[in-house]
Amino acid sequence: MKLPFAESWKIKMVEPITKSTREQREAWIKEAGYNVFQLRADQVYIDCLTDSGTGAMSDRQWAALMMGDESYAGARSFYELRDTIERITGFKYVIPTHQGRAAENVLFSALVHEGDYVPGNSHFDTTKGHIEFRKAFAVDCTIDDAKDTQKELPFKGNVDITKLEKVLEEHKDKIPFIIVTVTNNTAGGQPVSMQNLRDVRALADKYGKRVVLDSARFAENAYFIKTREEGYADKTIKEICKEMFDLADGMTMSAKKDGIVNMGGFIATRWEDWYEAAKAFVIPFEGYLTYGGMNGRDMAALAVGLDENTEFDNLDTRIHQLQLLASLLDEYGIPYQRPIGGHAVFVDALKVLPQIPKEQFPAQTLTIELYKEAGIRGCEIGYILADRDPVTRENRFGGNDFVRLCIPRRVYTDNHIRVIAAALKNVFDRRDEIKKGVEIVWEAELMRHFTVKLKPVE
């Protein structure tokens, strides 16, 4: 008999989680203004809010914490981290920061100026925020197919090369760099192919531009290249990562994802001029060059995490869990962004709750229903998150309306995954009984989803 698939690790420490009753959850979510960000974590049974900073470190990472060097300048832990990053990416200049958005803040302070254009594939919110904050424009050049949730493509996170060339042609003097997000979080954790990275490189060279990889989930991207792209099956994840970064000039990194640490990030680049320019901003914003925003112990744990998570078995364990979730949703007929991506399932709320008008926020409604059903916390990546148009102040209803259920790394077992799928099925089976959505009582002007207060439509 062929042995079944199993995890590439065993469990040394556990953290109890608590169940609650539906009555309790109904009271808690009401108190939270029907906003899952306002819940206490103790009111959640299975937390799928994000895969960012929520992973479980290995025994080797915990051991590395004890070996951390907290020297203000020149800490050994910094050099361990720098050497690991250089080995994996080939980038020799490294600046630690406290998380991914801080890396964006430091690098973009040096490179992005008013009136610039930064083309890319579905810039993450903070990336876009840091571009727009500098009165520059983030131009989304993602392939159109990414919008069609039911279309199965191996690399749905790709950059549309024709769209990119148009931006390069129109704004050639105003483009500080091209940014490619791997995997493409906003489009559903969808990977970018090596061929696409090669095509971006060729265009960048043609126009004399540099390329930054927003690398939060670069290892998961490499896994998909290995398993889906011709010619990569026999390469190691580390070889594939090296090839990806060979096609770029630098990276911003949220280490809270594929670095498997709870906090941390960095900038890395092959160019001394970028390093010199960024140095001027890291010291006032983050900290001295050899710690930026990080503790020595956290840099030590990150060095180990990066090494572990660029090994096939660790990634294979993770992606198998996502694929288990996808296979259960397929069995139950629940529509999601297909195929499932690297870190989350993005449920297509417009297809689940077509009776709920856009103005009543279908994905948020479904997020609340799922929480009430089983204490599972997902989050809306949809119309509330999209904020209002800055000029017209109208809601932006143009994109997809998803419920994102993220799977933290090495945290939940396959049994938890089955609970998530069953809870979704229960809500899905009674979807016709959900007649009304929610309305906004109070909202912030920007990034309203974190603090918005809602109430059920009467």
Show which residues are catalytic: 72, 124-125, 214, 216, 257, 449
CA dist 52 and 101 (Å) reads: 12
Q: Is 52 in the site for ligand F0G (CB under 6 A)?
A: yes
What's the N-to-C CA distance of the chain in angstroms? 57
User: Is residue 285 a contact partner of residue 99, using CB atoms and an 8 Å limit?
Assistant: no
Minimum Å gap between C-beta 435 and ligand F0G is 31
CA dist 299 and 296 (Å) reads: 5
Minimum Å gap between C-beta 395 and ligand F0G is 22
Taking each helix axis from N to C end, the angle separating 312-332 and 218-228, rounded to the nearest 10 degrees, works out to 80
CA dist 408 and 317 (Å) reads: 12
Q: Is 400 in the site for ligand F0G (CB under 6 A)?
A: no
Which region among 123-131, 147-155, 272-280, 415-423 touches ligand F0G (by CB under 6 A)?
123-131
Report how far apart, in Å, the C-alpha atoms of 36 and of each of 280, 360, 433 are.
Answer: 38, 16, 22
* Residue matched to tokens 């077992």: 413
Q: Is 158 in the site for ligand F0G (CB under 6 A)?
A: no
- Which residue in the shown chain puts its C-beta closest to ligand F0G? 100
Decide whether 149 or 181 has the Cβ nearer to ligand F0G.
181
Q: Is 377 in the site for ligand F0G (CB under 6 A)?
A: no
Decide whether 297 or 343 has the Cβ nearer to ligand F0G.
343
Minimum Å gap between C-beta 399 and ligand F0G is 16
Closest CA to 55 of 293, 339, 286, 306: 306
Decide whether 100 or 342 has the Cβ nearer to ligand F0G.
100
Residue of the chain from 35, 54, 89, 126 that contacts ligand F0G (CB under 6 A): 126
3-state helix, strand, coil in the chain (%, to 5): 45, 15, 40
Q: Is 254 in the site for ligand F0G (CB under 6 A)?
A: yes
What is the SS3 assignment for 253?
A: strand
Q: Is 216 in the site for ligand F0G (CB under 6 A)?
A: yes
Residue environment code for 2-41, b if the CB has 16+ CB neighbours within 10 A, otherwise e: eeeeebbeeeeeeeeeeeeeeeebeebbeebbbbbebbee
Decide whether 209 or 404 has the Cβ nearer to ligand F0G.
404
Minimum Å gap between C-beta 142 and ligand F0G is 13
Minimum Å gap between C-beta 169 and ligand F0G is 27
- Which structure tokens are listed for 128? 């876009």
Minimum Å gap between C-beta 230 and ligand F0G is 26
User: Is residue 336 a contact partner of residue 348, using CB atoms and an 8 Å limit?
Assistant: yes
Q: Is 310 in the site for ligand F0G (CB under 6 A)?
A: no
Q: Is 128 in the site for ligand F0G (CB under 6 A)?
A: no
Q: Is 124 in the site for ligand F0G (CB under 6 A)?
A: yes
Q: Are strands 265-269 and 250-254 parallel, antiparallel or unpaired?
A: antiparallel
Q: Is 181 in the site for ligand F0G (CB under 6 A)?
A: yes
How many Cβ atoms from other residues are within 10 Å of residue 281's Cβ? 17
Minimum Å gap between C-beta 442 and ligand F0G is 23
CA dist 57 and 52 (Å) reads: 13
Residue of the chain from 188, 265, 362, 375 that contacts ligand F0G (CB under 6 A): 265
Q: Is 256 in the site for ligand F0G (CB under 6 A)?
A: yes
Q: Contacts with ligand F0G: how many residues (CB under 6 A)?
A: 15
Q: What DSSP assignment string belongs to 424-446?
A: HHHHHHTGGG----EEEEE--SS
| DSSP type of residue 18 | -
Minimum Å gap between C-beta 126 and ligand F0G is 5
User: Is residue 448 a contact partner of residue 441, using CB atoms and an 8 Å limit?
Assistant: no
- Which structure tokens are listed for 69? 């060097």
Q: Is 185 in the site for ligand F0G (CB under 6 A)?
A: yes
Residue of the chain from 99, 193, 295, 360 that contacts ligand F0G (CB under 6 A): 99
Q: Is 348 in the site for ligand F0G (CB under 6 A)?
A: no
Q: Which residues bind ligand F0G (CB under 6 A)?
A: 50, 52, 99-101, 124, 126-127, 181, 185, 214, 216, 254, 256, 265
